[in-house]
Amino acid sequence: MKFDTVIIGGGLAGLLCGLELTRQGLRCAIISRGQSGLHFSSGSLDLLTRSSEISLDAALERLAATEPTHPYSLIGKTAVLACAHQTEALLSECGIAMQGSVEQPHQRITPIGTLRQAWLTSEDIALAPEKGERIAVVGISGFLDFQSHLAAASLRKSGANAEALEIELPQLDILRDNASEFRSVNLARVLDGGNQAQSLLAALLPIAKQYDRILMPACFGLQDNSLWRALNESLPCPLSLLPTLPPSVPGIRLNAALQRQFIKNGGVWLAGDAVTDVSHSGQSVNAISTRNHGEIPLRTRFAVLASGSFFSGGLVASRQDVSEPVLGLDVLQTSGRENWTSRDFFEPQPWQRFGVKTDNALRASLNGQPFNNFFAIGGVLGGFDGLSQGCAGGVSAVTALYVARQITELSGEQP
Ligand SMILES: Cc1cc2nc3c(=O)[nH]c(=O)nc-3n(C[C@H](O)[C@H](O)[C@H](O)COP(=O)(O)OP(=O)(O)OC[C@H]3O[C@@H](n4cnc5c(N)ncnc54)[C@H](O)[C@@H]3O)c2cc1C
């Protein structure tokens, strides 16, 4: 099997990179071992959290001055902005409707009812309430991964007029025998399956007549937003959803939509397989071996590492150090395990910035020598703290498209 590019990891970064490469007509395979960060995430993407007084331009310039190893600083402000805009266009082309834009960051409501700045948020997810809006935060009886009282109390603290209510959905009783089955994804499997709009409508209608907006947990819409749209058309007030504790229905839907489009574009999707080795001659990668295709390596002109952070096994910690398990690439890390963490749990944690070291072109390196045709993107990269800097999804999207653009250009030059 011969490819222009083989991508290791099919999360947000790998999929966006693969989508762009297949759009450009390049032959591309994605090998992905298991679930990605999106399966657990909020479904919102953060670009770079900043106060409202500072523009994104200024925030990126400040970052370049203070944090030269941040992936945004490596590729530069112009590329970050261009790739962020390109992400918006690409998602829209895939039929993924998002609220927000580079120019218009917004506040979204978290599962516990607090507000958090975001770049892009799925169209069904609730943004900060309007002043004076009467909001019903509606839980589902027996569903513990969303606490309507907690969310309503936090919303009231931020000045909103919110009340907690609960609905009974007897069609979910089949899941109640086992409390561990009563999770958002299993609820969605029942609620997405035919003719549920009427029963949901019947439960929500009396509430909708008394409030300006209903918020309820995101536990339907695994494949698309059609049920949410149908409910919104029939209810007298808008219905918005709130992400639940993981797993995440909006995140899984985003992952599935990107994957569908990648396959539609002609991409080869090798799910449930794991890359075990990357062969290279000097600084040029030429083949990738996987667990399921041990004897027939995938030959490739370019390779991209999009294997995520610790959570996805893209980075591994031992007692002594942190390593990249596929090839043992160079990793940015602080030495001495005692320096990996801050004593205050709520402070930014140094280990969050650990990850693969690259040059400005995002080419990974081994023993200090950058590869010619092996790039790293997304959560596996070092130099950033997605949580405290509010840039996790943004780094995945921006670096994915930055590398896709380089591979496209280099493919045109090389035979
Ligand atoms: C609970 C939670 C909430 C979040 N909320 C937000 C948020 O609000 N905003 C935001 O911007 N970001 C958020 N994030 C972060 C965001 O989801 C991640 O930054 C992003 O999904 C990372 O994408 P990635 O493609 O780089 O890596 P991943 O999503 O980690 O994907 C890596 C993939 O590579 C595969 N893989 C690993 N090793 C191999 C191998 N050897 N062979 C084959 N495949 C391999 C893994 O199985 C996985 O599928 C959240 C994350 C979590 C977990």
> Among 262, 300, 267, 292, which Cα is nearest to 1's?
300
Domains defined for the chain, CATH in brackets: 2-100+252-413 (3.50.50.60), 126-242 (3.40.50)
**Average of per-residue pLDDT across 362-386:** 97
Residue 143 and residue 182 in contact, taking contact as beta carbons nearer than 8 Å: yes
Tell me, in angstroms, the distance from the centre of ligand 1 to residue 304's CA: 15
Q: Hey, which of 396, 398, 399, 401 would you mutate to test ligand 1's pocket, going by the most ligand atoms within 8 Å of its Cβ?
A: 396
Per the prediction, the chain carries an average pLDDT of: 94
Say whether pLDDT at 52 is over 90: no
- Flag whether pLDDT at 87 surpasses 60: yes
Determine the Cα–Cα distance for residues 175 and 205; give it in Å rounded to an integer.
24
| pLDDT one-digit tens code per residue, 172-218 | 887 877 767 888 999 999 999 877 889 999 999 999 999 999 999 99
Query: With a 6 A CB cut-off, is 303 part of the ligand 1 pocket?
Result: no
Q: Is the CB of 117 within 6 Å of ligand 1?
A: no
* Model pLDDT, residue 120: 98
pLDDT digits (tens, 9 = 90+) for 245-280: 999 999 999 999 999 999 999 999 999 999 999 999
CA distance 403 to 28: 14
Rounded to whole angstroms, how far apart are CA atoms 29 and 91?
Answer: 20
Please work out whether the CB of residue 217 comes within 6 Å of at least one atom of ligand 1. no
The mean pLDDT value for 358-364 works out to: 98
With a 6 A CB cut-off, is 34 part of the ligand 1 pocket?
Answer: yes
* Per-residue pLDDT at 413 exceeds 80: no
Q: How confident is the model at residue 415 (pLDDT cuts 50, 70, 90)?
A: low
- State the closest ligand 1 atom to the C-alpha of 248, by its place in the atom list counted from 1: 1
Q: What is the DSSP letter of 315?
A: S
**SS3 of residue 398 by DSSP:** helix
pLDDT at 289 over 70: yes
What pLDDT score does 324 carry?
98
Q: Residues 175-182: contacts with CB within 8 Å, 24+ apart? A: 176/142, 179/144, 182/142, 182/143, 182/144, 182/145
From 117, 312, 401, give the residue whose CB has the most ligand 1 atoms within 8 Å, as the site to mutate.
312
Sort strands 2-8 and 28-32 into parallel, antiparallel or unpaired.
Answer: parallel
Distance 280 CA to ligand 1 centre (A): 26
pLDDT digits (tens, 9 = 90+) for 301-324: 999 999 999 999 999 999 999 999
Q: Give the pLDDT confidence score for residue 414 in this predicted structure.
A: 64
Percent of the chain with pLDDT over 90: 84
Q: Which atom of ligand 1 is nearest to the CA of 326?
A: 41
CA of 123 to the centre of ligand 1 (A): 21
Question: CB of 264 within 8 A of CB of 146?
Answer: no
- CB-based contacts of 363-371 (< 8 A; 24+ apart in sequence): 364/305, 364/327, 364/329, 364/330, 365/329, 365/330, 366/327, 366/328, 366/329, 366/330, 367/330, 368/330, 369/283, 370/283, 371/280, 371/283, 371/284, 371/285
For ligand 1, what atom is nearest to the CA of residue 15?
Answer: 25
What amino acid occupies position 3?
F
Atom of ligand 1 lying closest to residue 34 CA: 47
If you compute the radius of gyration of the chain from its CA atoms, what whole number of angstroms results? 22
Under 8 Å between Cβ of 121 and 99: yes
Distance CA 348, CA 208 (A): 41
Peptide bond into 129 cis (omega under 30): no
> Does the C-beta of 121 come closer than 6 Å to ligand 1?
no
**Alpha-carbon distance values, 111 to 20, 38, 41, 399 (Å):** 32, 16, 11, 28
- CA dihedral (56, 58, 64, 65) in degrees, to 10, reads -150
Query: 333: which residues sit within 8 A by CB, 6+ positions away?
Result: 321, 322, 340, 351, 354, 382
The model's pLDDT over 231-240, given as tens digits with 9 standing for 90+, comes to 999 999 999 9
Ligand 1 pocket, mutate which of 6, 12, 16, 245 (most atoms under 8 A from CB): 12
Orientation of helix 56-66 relative to helix 77-93, angle to 10°:
130
State the closest ligand 1 atom to the C-alpha of 325, by its place in the atom list counted from 1.
41
pLDDT at 125: 96
How much distance in Å is there from the Cα of 118 to the middle of ligand 1? 17
Does residue 14 line the site of ligand 1, with CB under 6 A?
A: yes
**Measured in angstroms, how far is the CA atom of residue 315 from the centroid of ligand 1?**
12
How do residues 115-148 score in pLDDT, each as one tens digit?
999 999 999 999 999 988 999 999 999 888 899 9
Q: Tell me, what's the pLDDT at 221?
A: 94
Instruction: Report CA(101)–ligand 1 centroid distance (Å).
Output: 21
Query: Distance between CA 214 and CA 235 in Å, rounded?
Result: 10
Q: Both tokens of residue 300?
A: 């490739």
